[in-house]
Structure 1
């Protein structure tokens, strides 16, 4: 039996849930904050008067802007564990509410992980859970403080606001500290000052059932009011505008009794313009709430679509099969950790879409409203999940947090057209936080969450990943399949997937891929596969992520080169094109991210499985995805960050081209080596590969691709080295570039005959003395002071601060090298 879900979701704004309404005044509180990374003796230490420049004033606060993450740099500091504990923020704000008897609120889009809020010395609110949106009404505390002498004299007519955040380890909280990501602290999403009338919206919900051919649908809108003063009457005006700007319908309704969830509108919509991943058409809903308190109004976007996960079959969107081509996202970025700005988030999401993504799993927690809005507008379907991740199952406090976060996630993101799956958890078969690990108790609680999800929203499906003993409880299940990385060979992928597909009603495959150390390349990347036993499954098991001990596996015994990863990705994508029963997959992850459980990786504390680095620098695998998933003509020669290739004199070396073109012609040093046709099933590189006789020294490779009448071109230049090397014997350090006040230095490893060791993977340690500063703790291959070499070299940037510095580099067993800047 198939379950078919026909739905349309109006993306409705709300005060506490989705977006500040137009009729409210909302201001981001980004500037003029001070921060201290420790606890205080009490709130008085945040607000007590101190003399200007008082040297005895402790603790010492630093100026910051929001969003701000406590762990912006220490999460990837190779020498310390990242900080987990209390921190404080403080500021003083002007509060001038324009509404008579209006309410003044602080709206947190997310802060981790336990948060308390104070107006002067009065605690006005608190929250547990680092990924929810939540709001604190500060109206009464502000009015009381304005009557004090301190308000006039010490704070000069401003309101002191202090916020304590705390990401201390706590076994009775989710997510578990056993998770493969950092549990960040700080006000790492936007914080807004909101003025609203005394009657406004708390939550607005919309749901529509759409018939099979999309010719007719019904939209139902309801609201939950925010009404602290007990206003009893209101009038609501609603208007729906189609994507072309035409008014589809409007209504007006008088209401009495505003305490409970209230139905507002049932609207029949004929032939709605459907939302899809290729054409994410959005309507606009306008609403006004008139009462004795004034008018609260706003506009929100509307998306109409229907979807279906066919039982024992593929995924359907608007009645047609759609292969979900997905990835994952952690809220993590170079230099700021979780505190990504709106521009950073937008750049990342657009880059995903440019890669061809139409589906994303937001791992492993509900994410910023900005992400969901971009998924709506870009056409990216969403699996969003609560952070019940690893560790087992805690007690009543633990369970209540999970229920609350599930409720918050669904109610806050209910109206996004992009959301199709609510995730109940991840790797819940992973014990460790409690003496007891009881599968039956986990099953009981998983069923409870699943039932709660359907009760809150029966229009989406539920899902989990990697907990086989709960696979029958949710609507859609993803097993653990890591063919060619943690277990087996990547050529095992299809057979393993088919076996797992047979075990469940609705199958999806999220999390696959492998680590790659950016700028590391290999002439023989598949060499380690000869050690790997096949036919024994492809799941990840306890200890597989470790770089030490256990059976042979690519994650431990491979070279972590980009060259291997493109082969793994290429194989998976070609196979996915021949699996008509497949609903979809999601590569893990889009971007490298920080994790406390991987200190020994080539960039310490980084999960390096991304197709872009932590700063969005593209790795080679990005273009493999583009070649399968995009239609805009593209062509890319593998090896743009591979400055020196090596081999024998006269030996033919493979050059791979990743393209979505029909055909391509390759040139070496100006000479054509022929035209080849693209065939997705001709592995590797879909048949666009040439064996070329490089010349010693400089080489130029050019490709010209054709798709219809469009021609695209790519070119790389590199050196070909035929000299053999022995083990590294010395280091050299050179400035290779300078732009404005930023210099780039490069270390190279040579043997005792001054031949560069192109396969050297030595640990490199940079340091600096002088007026400059190393641009490190960024979590990238070129932004860490401790890093494994890539092809016998490593680079780092230095901010010169318009002064002089000496950079040093060390590697065990070798003499240090220095350079003056």
Structure 2
């Protein structure tokens, strides 16, 4: 029979290269002891700009193979590793796998000592360096996400009989290998399930066997069973068995009711059970129509989704299953029914969560704005396309495939080949492949990505793969807030006003999308904020931030769900109806304000300090979205409690209230469980959110204190106390933040304390439960004494130039040759990308600003955030120590689309003069000035 052992526990790990670490006799006792999933290095929360580790790393695993395994097949299965993976077992090199996002398997039968006492050793060398011929291939310094590294997904040791069902990727057969389940006929009355099972005979003699398929419902009852006819398989041969199950009155898979069945597939030989697999399946059929959009099980359904990168704060891509599932839960709660897995296949845990929660998916091949016109890159990318289909073809959540390299200038041969591969690997009418409309051979594809406002021919299915983002915001200030933070102190402007504007702008998008019948679906960029390599600020595009704290857009999207669907999905949401007041109701200097309430209720009643302000139905200006917002205009501000109550069909359904916050008084901790237990396996993680509150328990959203954490019991704070990562202590953003807690291998009660100067501390208790996985035994691994310092980390490159705390200009005095009262010179040092300096009306160039650093500094660079993207500004930068003698550092032109700061080197500088020498249109105008360097005489 088949046995699967987890190989996740007790790996030896070394960051850097080691020449002989593959040898069995190599002494690894000085290496760290780690547990999988494991990141090659814990990184800062904001690790954009290429600061994450890239290079070699080694892992070694000691294990005993049971005596009962002798004479059986043994396979080592990796769910994923970054980016090249070279593997040895007991000193024997098994091979190398190229690519970090797809699983791979090695047959280790002939190099393992299966006697229950010999120390077998798996040695793994990883390398996540830039590799142009390994898709995605683009150098991280030019990449819109990060190449994190490590053994970041599970590793399994699989034992089977020599007569066994294969792994689809390892078997490497077109539209074959492993188990392949399809649904040729589906209705509410009857469904037909086709099962193809590939069986390998590795005995030296022939074997006759049959395959039995059994479908079991969620109550444990077998509702259908079929046996194949027996087949004789020659020695070292294989065969594919095909069976058909018929189910009366099936429970169909749908995002609102994601019913799953358990498919047991067994191999029988001479009345003996020799192998068995268990697979969760969902019965459904779908089609895309060019004029009417998407249909699931015969019913029209608008696909409303988001993109997701698999990254999590601090640990990169090394998420345990619990964090993958929590992400899926949060995205489902946000109102999405679809996830684009941008830009690569994602973990088995996330796919299973999508199956169970009802999140449809498109699976893309690894790729991002990079194509190498050579045989190596092509062949590896083609294999990626095959392997992604083989990996995810049985997941009911997958409704189409993306076999093209994202936003890439590949050639027509590549486009036609990848399209053909997808349909070869998944024959029939349930396979759809998508392509950007602007790319070669797009006419051949089943679904066309209709981005950039390009029209799609009437005979083609259209889909928006990314919307609701303005990528140009990273090049300079824009008149939009699609990218915004929860707080107002990051690179992208944020806070209450920015989040509301972002939510309303995205509401305009989806109102149009829902109202366009021929548009099959759309996916927001992105569901969750993420880091990236080519800019030193995060992509603040999510409805959730890095810590999985929601922005206002989260509630806008969630309000689009039908209350009935919400109430049915008890595993996803605690209640159906939603009411959310998109305001902090705090003092901001305005006497009145408009109040937006997001809700899926029929009517909303608004009260202030108990007084009724009005009762309204949704805004009629929105005709596409299922649930338009509620608008209460010109509400006079009065400190206190603003409350909204919602009704559905005349009955009270839900409420929400906000209260004017007073000064910070205390901290509060809240574990982000999402109904999932913390498991004591050494790698499981849970985010604990911390909130700054006033004495009445109101979140103080303009508080940014430093918060320190202390832990007791069988748990650890991820990268506790390391100033490089800043994981503890943390600085709250807009009155909230988070700390990542990891369980040890000992179950029990974990106590977490939070403290901050001048505030009442907080405490929370967490329980970690015993690990029930079946682990392969091995020699006990004792951790080394002390902390290991890696030579590979010496060249750490800090991110500085866009963070406010590194901007020497912030808060400093500035004067100008002229200014307008509404646009003063002081605006360029206030850290806000809303306020700006403008020269006086009618002023001619040149116009100048002089910044006083109030001390002597050695400078390394400056950045000017010009007000207009479409204006060219000629400018000169000069420096001085005394304010009278000036040295010109640079003279050039710029626009609001400039990305990088200007590099300059100057010592003993107190004054900086920016002179605008010419303007192509309008007045000289600057949002913000950044000056970078350090105090003169500071040791580097």
Give the structure 2 partner of residue 429 of structure 1: 408
Q: In the TM superposition, what is the alpha-carbon distance from 1:687 to its structure 2 partner? A: 4.8
Give the structure 1 partner of residue 540 of structure 2: 608
> Which range is displaced more, 800-809 or 132-141?
800-809
Is 1:635–1:660's contact at 8 Å kept on the other side of the alignment? yes
SS in 1 for 2:68: coil
Q: Counterparts of 2:618 and 2:753 in 1: how far apart (Å)?
A: 51
Q: Counterparts of 1:775 and 1:712 in 2: how far apart (Å)?
A: 44
Give the structure 2 partner of residue 668 of structure 1: 608
SS in 1 for 2:388: helix
Match of 1:220 among 194, 201, 207: 194
Q: Counterparts of 1:769 and 1:381 in 2: how far apart (Å)?
A: 38
Q: Counterparts of 1:679 and 1:804 in 2: how far apart (Å)?
A: 44
Q: CA 1:460–1:778 in 2, change beyond 3 Å: closer, same or farther? A: farther
Give the structure 1 partner of residue 556 of structure 2: 624
Match of 1:40 among 11, 14, 18: 18
Is 1:241–1:248's contact at 8 Å kept on the other side of the alignment? yes
**Equivalences for residues 690-729 of structure 1 within 5 A:** 690-695=632-637, 698-708=639-649, 709-719=651-661
Q: Counterparts of 1:743 and 1:378 in 2: how far apart (Å)?
A: 24
Match of 2:7 among 29, 32, 36: 29
Instruction: Report whether the alignment pairs 1:185 with 2:123.
Output: no
1:217-238 deviation line (CA, Å, top 9, x unaligned): 5433222234444552123222
Q: Counterparts of 1:217 and 1:404 in 2: how far apart (Å)?
A: 33
Q: CA 1:96–1:508 in 2, change beyond 3 Å: closer, same or farther? A: same
SS in 2 for 1:563: helix
Instruction: Report whether the alignment pairs 1:206 with 2:180.
Output: yes
SS in 2 for 1:72: coil
Q: Counterparts of 1:565 and 1:783 in 2: how far apart (Å)?
A: 30
Give the structure 2 partner of residue 526 of structure 1: none
Q: Counterparts of 1:413 and 1:769 in 2: how far apart (Å)?
A: 40
Q: CA 1:503–1:716 in 2, change beyond 3 Å: closer, same or farther? A: same
Q: In the TM superposition, what is the alpha-carbon distance from 1:470 to its structure 2 partner? A: 3.7
Q: Counterparts of 2:349 and 2:604 in 1: how far apart (Å)?
A: 40
**Equivalences for residues 5-404 of structure 1 within 5 A:** 23-43=1-21, 47-49=25-27, 61-73=31-43, 76-77=46-47, 81-96=51-66, 98-143=68-113, 157-177=118-138, 178-202=142-166, 203-211=177-185, 213=187, 215-230=189-204, 232-233=206-207, 234-242=209-217, 245-257=221-233, 259-291=237-269, 295-404=274-383
SS in 1 for 2:315: coil
Q: CA 1:320–1:805 in 2, change beyond 3 Å: closer, same or farther? A: closer
Match of 1:547 among 475, 485, 507: 475
Q: Counterparts of 1:36 and 1:171 in 2: how far apart (Å)?
A: 25
Is 1:669–1:699's contact at 8 Å kept on the other side of the alignment? yes
User: TM-score, normalised to structure 2's length?
Assistant: 0.66
Q: CA 1:307–1:230 in 2, change beyond 3 Å: closer, same or farther? A: farther
1:64-93 deviation line (CA, Å, top 9, x unaligned): 211012143158347862221111112312
Is 2:547–2:737's contact at 8 Å kept on the other side of the alignment? no
Q: CA 1:357–1:802 in 2, change beyond 3 Å: closer, same or farther? A: closer
Match of 2:418 among 449, 472, 489: 449
Q: CA 1:803–1:376 in 2, change beyond 3 Å: closer, same or farther? A: closer
**Equivalences for residues 754-773 of structure 1 within 5 A:** none
Is 2:6–2:155's contact at 8 Å kept on the other side of the alignment? yes
> Which range is displaced more, 256-265 or 63-72?
256-265
Q: CA 1:254–1:547 in 2, change beyond 3 Å: closer, same or farther? A: same
Aligned residues: CA RMSD:
4.1
Q: Counterparts of 1:376 and 1:809 in 2: how far apart (Å)?
A: 44
SS in 2 for 1:628: coil
Q: In the TM superposition, what is the alpha-carbon distance from 1:554 to its structure 2 partner? A: 5.8
Q: Counterparts of 2:739 and 2:535 in 1: how far apart (Å)?
A: 24
Q: Counterparts of 1:797 and 1:135 in 2: how far apart (Å)?
A: 35
1:132-160 deviation line (CA, Å, top 9, x unaligned): 1111222221129x7xxxx9xxxx74322
Number of equivalenced pairs: 686
1:418-466 deviation line (CA, Å, top 9, x unaligned): 2111111243435xxxxxxxx6xx1111100101111111231001246
Q: Counterparts of 1:570 and 1:137 in 2: how far apart (Å)?
A: 52
SS in 1 for 2:258: coil
Structure 2 stretches of 5 or more lacking a match? 167-176, 485-491, 567-575, 672-687, 694-700, 712-716, 742-750, 759-803, 813-853, 855-940
Q: CA 1:450–1:320 in 2, change beyond 3 Å: closer, same or farther? A: same
User: TM-score, normalised to structure 1's length?
Assistant: 0.74
Q: CA 1:371–1:476 in 2, change beyond 3 Å: closer, same or farther? A: same
Is 2:73–2:162's contact at 8 Å kept on the other side of the alignment? yes
SS in 2 for 1:589: coil
SS in 1 for 2:275: strand
Is 1:547–1:556's contact at 8 Å kept on the other side of the alignment? no
Instruction: Report whether the alignment pairs 1:635 with 2:578.
Output: yes
SS in 2 for 1:353: helix
Give the structure 2 partner of residue 461 of structure 1: 432
Q: Counterparts of 1:306 and 1:238 in 2: how far apart (Å)?
A: 21
Is 2:22–2:123's contact at 8 Å kept on the other side of the alignment? no
> Which range is displaced more, 291-300 or 94-103?
291-300
Q: In the TM superposition, what is the alpha-carbon distance from 1:175 to its structure 2 partner? A: 0.7
Q: In the TM superposition, what is the alpha-carbon distance from 1:514 to its structure 2 partner? A: 3.1
Q: CA 1:260–1:783 in 2, change beyond 3 Å: closer, same or farther? A: farther
Q: In the TM superposition, what is the alpha-carbon distance from 1:315 to its structure 2 partner? A: 0.8
Q: Counterparts of 2:705 and 2:644 in 1: how far apart (Å)?
A: 38
